[in-house]
């Protein structure tokens, strides 16, 4: 862990015992008032967010901060603020609540998984994995699942990512693909997604092929514009460096020197998934994302994603990451919505397994 002096701040602590509950006080003083204001956020919103997350009391005044709470929580708070200060010192830009949540997760996981001696020997272990693109710069994972995802993307030719909406499956996949494209490790970026609502029969929709499938690929476009300049995206689409390939038209192709992304894969049939997987050519990477809880296929039809991850489990060169409701990074309310749906789904499954539980008690 770098010294406090190296981070441009000074820290001191004191402890008080009241009955059985111990409360400690940690004081931090930041050298740069401007950077301190970026850490605290507008109207100290980041400070209030950390208070709620870590259950501590934090008081910010100028470039000075006082943390009060249980020893473990206060120590986490200190490390979170130190890390946030180090981040704005490098980037000089304002932090989002998502950035704050990511650092809280990083500090929590680092404390749980890595003994202090190991961290001292290898300081990089205290940080989550990151990807970097020219436009976006370094983007660090916000939780352990995202960190594992990025690690798998680097080390495997084929990666499955499953989980609920808002966990960053597609966004990080596009970011990784763009980074490979910019570094020269791939020549093309091929994007595909099943158009379930149109039954894969897109002929009746107006426009050319790109215009027909644009509505289905809008989330991928949004991610592309996040990681690339708009003019580079448009030029890539015109020259074929970035290709939109409807899943129905992939048959017979061999995709070489490319990064291939299949989004919303839970809506592929078994036949479509097998066909897509066998398109992988030399020096190519394939990323498949989907949410098994949101299958839009006709009743009774098996999802190609669910079948593929079971069949290919343990195959060398294939990585798999499963996100959960706690990994949602989109918005706190989205996290709570996903958790509520998960609980309802588990409740229905339990009721199906125990029909007796549905019977009303006799009067």
**String of DSSP letters for 96-115:** PHHHHHHHHHHHHHHHHHS-
**Could you read off the pLDDT of 213-266 as tens digits, one per residue?**
667 778 888 899 999 999 999 999 999 999 988 787 788 888 999 999 999 999
CATH number for the domain spanning 33: value is 3.30.1370.10
Question: In which domain, by residue range, is 159 found?
Answer: 141-331
Q: Is residue 203 part of a domain?
A: yes
Q: Is residue 345 part of a domain?
A: no
Q: Is residue 112 part of a domain?
A: no
Q: Does the structure show a pLDDT above 60 at 332?
A: yes
Q: How confident is the model at residue 43 (pLDDT cuts 50, 70, 90)?
A: confident
**Could you read off the pLDDT of 70-83 as tens digits, one per residue?**
988 888 899 999 98
Long-range CB contacts for residues 344-350, cutoff 8 Å, separation at least 24: 345/293
Last residue of a domain, one of 99, 133, 156: 99
Q: Is residue 92 part of a domain?
A: yes
What global pTM score does this model have? 0.70
Do 89 and 187 share a domain, yes or no?
no
Mean pLDDT of the chain: 81
Instruction: For 130, list phi and psi in degrees, rounded to 5.
Output: -145, 160
Do 59 and 152 share a domain, yes or no?
no
Q: Is residue 148 part of a domain?
A: yes
pLDDT of residue 177: 94
pLDDT of residue 361: 53
Paired strand residues for 11: 28
Question: Total domain count for the chain?
Answer: 2
Do 75 and 177 share a domain, yes or no?
no
Do 91 and 172 share a domain, yes or no?
no
Q: Is residue 28 part of a domain?
A: yes
pLDDT of residue 122: 42
pLDDT of residue 333: 75
Do 91 and 156 share a domain, yes or no?
no
Q: Decide: residue 348, CB within 10 A, 0-12 exposed, 13-18 middle, 19+ buried.
A: exposed
CB 139 within 8 A of CB 150: no
pLDDT of residue 118: 41
Do 291 and 155 share a domain, yes or no?
yes
Do 226 and 309 share a domain, yes or no?
yes
Supply 176's token pair. 């990784």
CATH number for the domain spanning 313: value is 3.40.50.300
Q: Does the structure show a pLDDT above 70 at 341?
A: yes
CB 291 within 8 A of CB 194: no
**Could you read off the pLDDT of 106-134 as tens digits, one per residue?**
887 765 434 444 444 444 445 778 888 88
Do 84 and 173 share a domain, yes or no?
no
d(Cα 250, Cα 302) in Å, to the nearest integer? 20
Looking from the CA of 68 toward its CB, the CA atoms found within 13 Å total 8
Do 91 and 168 share a domain, yes or no?
no
pLDDT of residue 354: 66
Do 192 and 285 share a domain, yes or no?
yes
Q: Does the structure show a pLDDT above 50 at 186?
A: yes
CA 232 to each of CA 47, 245, 246: distance values in angstroms, whole numbers, following the listed order: 38, 19, 22
Closest CA to 60 of 98, 108, 27: 27
Q: Does the structure show a pLDDT above 80 at 45?
A: yes
pLDDT of residue 315: 92
Return the minimum-mean-pLDDT range out of 24-38, 50-64, 117-131: 117-131
pLDDT of residue 352: 64
pLDDT of residue 247: 84
Looking from the CA of 211 toward its CB, the CA atoms found within 13 Å total 6
Q: Is the dihedral of CA 305, 310, 315, 320 positive or negative?
A: positive
Q: Is residue 314 part of a domain?
A: yes
Supply 102's token pair. 């990511």
Do 33 and 93 share a domain, yes or no?
yes
CB 293 within 8 A of CB 345: yes
pLDDT of residue 239: 94
pLDDT of residue 205: 56
pLDDT of residue 121: 41
Q: Is residue 321 part of a domain?
A: yes
Do 147 and 293 share a domain, yes or no?
yes
SS percent in the chain: helix, strand, coil, step 5: 50, 20, 30
pLDDT of residue 113: 39
d(Cα 193, Cα 272) in Å, to the nearest integer? 11
């Amino acid at each position: 862990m770098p010294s406090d002096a190296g981070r441009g701040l000074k820290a001191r602590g004191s402890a008080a015992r009241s009955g059985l509950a111990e409360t400690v006080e940690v004081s931090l003083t930041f050298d740069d008032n401007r950077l301190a204001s970026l850490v605290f956020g507008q109207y100290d919103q980041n400070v209030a967010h950390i208070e709620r997350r870590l259950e501590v009391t934090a008081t910010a005044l100028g470039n000075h901060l006082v943390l009060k709470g249980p020893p473990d929580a206060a120590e986490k708070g200190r490390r979170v603020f130190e890390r946030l200060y180090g981040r704005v010192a490098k980037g000089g830009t304002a932090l989002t609540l998502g950035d704050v949540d990511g650092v809280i997760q990083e500090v929590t996981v680092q404390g749980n998984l890595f003994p202090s001696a190991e961290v001292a020997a290898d300081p990089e272990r205290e940080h989550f994995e990151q990807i970097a693109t020219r436009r976006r710069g370094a983007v660090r994972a916000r939780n352990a699942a995202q960190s594992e995802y990025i690690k798998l993307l680097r080390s495997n030719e084929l990666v499955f990512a499953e989980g609920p909406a808002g966990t960053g499956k597609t966004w990080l996949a596009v970011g990784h693909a763009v980074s490979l494209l910019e570094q020269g490790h791939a020549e093309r970026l091929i994007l595909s997604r099943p158009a379930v609502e149109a039954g894969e029969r897109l002929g009746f929709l107006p426009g050319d092929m790109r215009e027909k499938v644009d509505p289905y690929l809008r989330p991928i476009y949004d991610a592309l514009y996040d990681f690339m300049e708009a003019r580079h995206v448009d030029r890539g689409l015109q020259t074929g460096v970035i290709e939109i390939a409807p899943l129905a038209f992939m048959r017979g192709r061999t995709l070489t020197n490319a990064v291939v992304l299949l989004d919303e894969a839970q809506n592929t049939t078994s036949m479509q998934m097998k066909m897509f997987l066998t398109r992988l050519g030399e020096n190519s990477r394939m990323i498949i994302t989907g949410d098994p809880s949101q299958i839009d296929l006709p009743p009774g039809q098996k999802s190609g994603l669910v079948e593929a991850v079971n069949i290919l489990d343990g195959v060398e060169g294939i990585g798999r990451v499963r996100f959960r409701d706690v990994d949602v990074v989109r918005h706190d309310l989205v996290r709570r919505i996903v958790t509520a749906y998960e609980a309802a789904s588990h409740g229905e499954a339990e009721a199906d397994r125990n029909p007796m539980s549905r019977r009303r008690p006799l009067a």
